[in-house]
Amino acid sequence: MREIIFDTETTGLDPKKGDRLVEIGCIELVNRVPTGSVYHAYFNPERSMPAEAEAVHGLSAAFLADKPKFAENVHELLEYLADSPLVAHNAGFDFAFLNFELAQCRLEPVCHSRMVDTIKLARVRHPGAKLSLDALCSRYGIDRSHRTRHGALLDAELLAQVYVELTGGRQIGLELVADAADPIVALVTTVTPNRVFRPARPHAAGEGELAAHAAFLETVKAPLWNGGA
């Protein structure tokens, strides 16, 4: 199964109040294993950068000034996301900004049925514990020493490791079979991408193919299916 772990950086907390998306980082997992495929982009928000937001991610208005607008890269981003489940930490926040930007482009929003929120998974796995990305990295022994500031791609890379641990660690393939009653497995497997399923097409060899196959068999000396005779 293909999944996308993603994170965003923004100018603030609420797109309805004029805040915009300025960075997105995506990591591709297939069967909970990173494939090495990533998508990363900065966007010009066409507005100033509040000092408190810049202090979090270090992205200044001057740095973003020559970056493409979201609308310029939106189709490239959507092609990468495809119809895969989207995994994020506090996913409602990231979905809100992503769908706001899509609305500005007059495009359909990403359906929330594709959302996997690792905070919800962590709350089930570790009730009462701290649920920040830093806290979960510490819990699972994930090195974050290079994370001096928030960054969408870096945070997505860390979250990918956290997600694998939350959903069974490196033995995920065995655990999904052995422990289907696990509430984490139940939460993750209820996410259903918006795929259109088509009935299988009938497959049968044509007369020419059957004749060619028979002619080929005639050329085989001492075939095993005839006892080698």
Q: Domain-by-domain residue ranges, the chain?
A: 2-189
Give the chain's residues under pLDDT 50. 172-178
Block residue for tokens 């609420």: 14
Give the pLDDT score at 154: 94
- Give the global pTM: 0.76
Q: Which fold has domain 2-189?
A: Nucleotidyltransferase; domain 5 (3.30.420)
Residues 163, 156: Cα–Cα separation, whole Å: 10
Per the CB < 8 A criterion, the answer to whether 95 and 112 are in contact is: yes
**What is the residue-averaged pLDDT of the chain?**
88
Taking a C-beta distance cutoff of 8 angstroms, is the pair 150, 57 a contact? Answer: yes
pLDDT reported for residue 8: 98
Q: CA torsion sign, 133 to 96 to 164 to 58? A: negative
User: Which residues are identified as catalytic?
Assistant: 150
- Percentage above 90 pLDDT, the chain: 69
- What the block records as the tokens of 24 is 């997105």
Residue 2 pLDDT: 97
Phi/psi of residue 82, nearest 5 degrees: 50, -135
